[in-house]
Chains A and B, each alone.
Chain A
Amino acid sequence: MKIKLISGVISAVLLSGCTSVMQKNDFKSFNSELSQGNYQEASKVALEHAGYDPEKGSVDDLLWTIQAGATLNYAGNYDLSVKLLDASEAMMKAEDTENIVSESSELIGSIVGNDAMLAYEQTQYDGVMANTIKAWSFLAENKYQDARVEFNRAEERQRRAAEYFAKQIKAREKELKEEGGDSSVSVNKTIESDAAKKVLEDAGMTANQWQPYDGYINPFTTYSYGLHLLLTGKSKSDFRKAADSFKRVYALTKSSAVNKDYKLARKLSKSGKKSTLNNRVWVIFENGLSVVREEKRLDLPVFILSSNVAYTGIALPWLKERGVTYKDISVNNKKTQMISDMDKIIGAEFDDDFPYILAREITRVTLKTIAQKQLKDSNAILGNVFGALQAVTTGADIRSFSALPSQYQVTRLYTKHKTVEIKAGTFTIPVKLDTSAKKHIIYVKAVSPMIQPTIRVINI
């Protein structure tokens, strides 16, 4: 019986060790293609990990499906991008409504192994961005009705996110205090000990490094919603909604470009004269690559059986910046302004999650250390084997939506010439606008100063 149990533990342990290493490799190859601007190649990597079956059109991994959806949008393959992001929404819904039994059995498994074994649970910004990207895909194909539905969904997800965070903060404070089980005394002792705090501080892992935008909103999503209504709106009420969105974004960013958009939308909400929009160009700039999770390994003083302390290796995820590509770019000498710091949005949500991740890792390591000690007392060899395995299984969950940019910037201009000039670092790129269209959005994406930015024009 004992042997069965041990072998069970050992196989879980080996599996979790593998999972964590494999995940790191997956992200390495994906992020490397992405950082070279090879969006098509990056999407292939993502599709493979998503378990994409082109014949059935099925996928089985949520995170990689979102990653594939995003990179396919960057590569201009809008149809497939939308299909995959639709599938990702269905998976997110399944994850949201997953019953407690399967959730807790997953959690028990992860206590033996590590967090990387758990099914990926989407962050709030994953969902918001999935709908935002879909909306932009529809806009690029001039499918305005479909874009509107996606923007409505994105805004609804933002509304839900604000409520989620308000509830979450209350619930987690309570939960961390009340966490049951025999080891909870030791776990709490470790978390609250000065020694442990110092180790974390020395590693630069202190809480609350990122502040969310007010109301946990992503100003880029709200801005996009407003811009879409401004450019494709039909009634004064549409323009009023656009003005409200720009007003919110201006309050958060103080961007003068957004302020001008707000004033323009207000004007239209009174006059309803759409010709006011003629000969105007908006520029959206996706700058750099977002923060990603990396693994940090630390030796933490862990309390076992209340008084004994053992320094034990733990692994935690922490955010690594990949940074912006340019401070800004200019279009006909007009500089872009930052309206959304994606790093800040990701960071704030991570900050919120971190105490939880830490508590889980310490619970795990405490349980394992206690088990190892008990095993060693009865059988020294087995104890050592278990100890070695413990080291192997230690691994952080580094999965995140890494296809996102670091920042979103915008600018706007009025021009009667149908060619504009974009300057990005050492690149000067002339961009032709459709002469038959009256309004235009230029969408620029730059991931590295070594590679010419990708540019697409939406003529409305």
Chain B
Amino acid sequence: MSAVVSGTSVLSERVQDAIRAEVQKYPQPRSALLIALHLVQGELGYVPLEAQRELAALLGIRPIEVREVVTFYPMYHEHPVGRRNVQVCVNIACALAGARQVIRALERRFGIAVGERTPDGGYSLEEAQCLGSCGTAVCVQVNNDPFIENVRPDAVDDLVKRIG
């Protein structure tokens, strides 16, 4: 999951090809930027500056235009997060269902606070805003996987098992 430089490029051929295919869908190549960043992050785990520079060249824009986007959107990371980045929704429906207790239990379990990463790089913990799953609160998302729903504050063992 780290940005190992293969040859001269941070972005693999596979990701570059996928981005080129995305570009075809739009009248302007830079419209593929958000999905391209997801593809890059899916491969590297985060979006380092070298990757941003290569992406800018691929889309014909300046590196700062990529960086503006990376830093504006909460889902992108410029620095490595845990291999499992655990995002717990703390918005109203999840708060009513005990999201704060879930976060506290995970902090104890992982030995880190919200915004931190375990020393072995295995886990990181984030607060998320409403994930669009309020009817099945508490809602948790790990990386970009399908939601873990109906998390109960008194069953965090179960959650940890599902996080893996």
A, B: real partners: no
